[in-house]
Amino acid sequence: MTDSRPSTAITLFAAAIIQSAILGWIVWDRIDLLRTGRPIVLDVAPVDPRDLFRGDYLVLSYPIARLRTDLVEGDKDFALNDRVYVGLRRTETDAWQAFSMHHARPQLTGEVVFLRGTVTGVSGPATGDVPCTGDCKVVAMRFGIESYFVPEGEGRRLEKLRNDNRLQVAARVTPDGEAAIAGLIIDGTLRYEEPLF
């Protein structure tokens, strides 16, 4: 009968090294995104106060996360869980607004960013201030930047600022469309900046 202890120790050591490498890669990927991603500013939409705050997280919603297919360029036919790339352009107020939606990321040209997301719902026909032209639908999306950890005791104040339209999100976006929140902007001033470490 052979002794399996050295083999078990080597297996455990290898597993620990692999887990550490994976964790290190995840941390480095996030740091690299925040350090080198293209900076953008996103307007935040008010959220129903009955579903606001859980623990020390601020729930964020964006106007770019619900788009009418007849009011933007690009692809029009989306289904639940589809990958989507939303084209953004900077406005006069420095906030970035959506102008297109695509199944595949188009080439970047000029002052354009494509934010990668997942379709969470499609409804229609769309209603609103602008009459629907043709077969228009509303596409709802998530981009992975819908919640933000805030310092303890700051959540209620930030919720109020968000609901009063005084809060914006400073984000960073990689060329392939991955986004991360870099900080919160209150009344035009960056207040909560995400540390790299």
Q: Supply 101's token pair.
A: 């939606």
Residue 49's pLDDT is 45
Q: How many CB atoms lie within 10 A of CB 71?
A: 15
Question: In Å, what is the CA distance from 157 to each residue of 46, 153, 161?
Answer: 14, 8, 6
Domain count, the chain: 1
Does 128 fall in a domain? yes
pTM to 2 decimal places: 0.76
| Tens-digit pLDDT profile for residues 31-64 | 777 788 888 888 887 664 444 445 577 889 999 9
What percentage of the chain's residues is helix, strand, coil (to nearest 5)?
25, 35, 40
Domain membership of residue 106 (yes or no) is yes
Q: Judge whether 7 lies within some domain.
A: no
Q: Is residue 9 part of a domain?
A: no
> DSSP for 44-104?
-B---GGG--BTTEEE-B-GGGEEETTSSEE-----TT-EEEEEEEE-TTS-EEEEEEESS
How high is the pLDDT of residue 4?
Answer: 55
Report if residue 146 sits inside a domain. yes
Could you report the per-residue pLDDT of 65-93, keeping only the tens digit for each? 999 998 899 999 999 999 999 999 999 88
| Residue 12 maps to a domain | no
Q: Which pLDDT score is estimated for 19?
A: 82
Say if 137 falls within a structural domain. Answer: yes
Span 105-150, pLDDT tens digits: 998 778 899 999 999 999 876 566 677 767 789 999 999 999 888 8
Q: 154 versus 168: which is more confidently predicted?
A: 168
Sequence-ordered list of residues with C-beta below 8 angstroms from that of 109, at least 6 positions apart, any chain: none
Would 14 be classed as within a structural domain?
no
Structural domain that includes position 68? 37-193
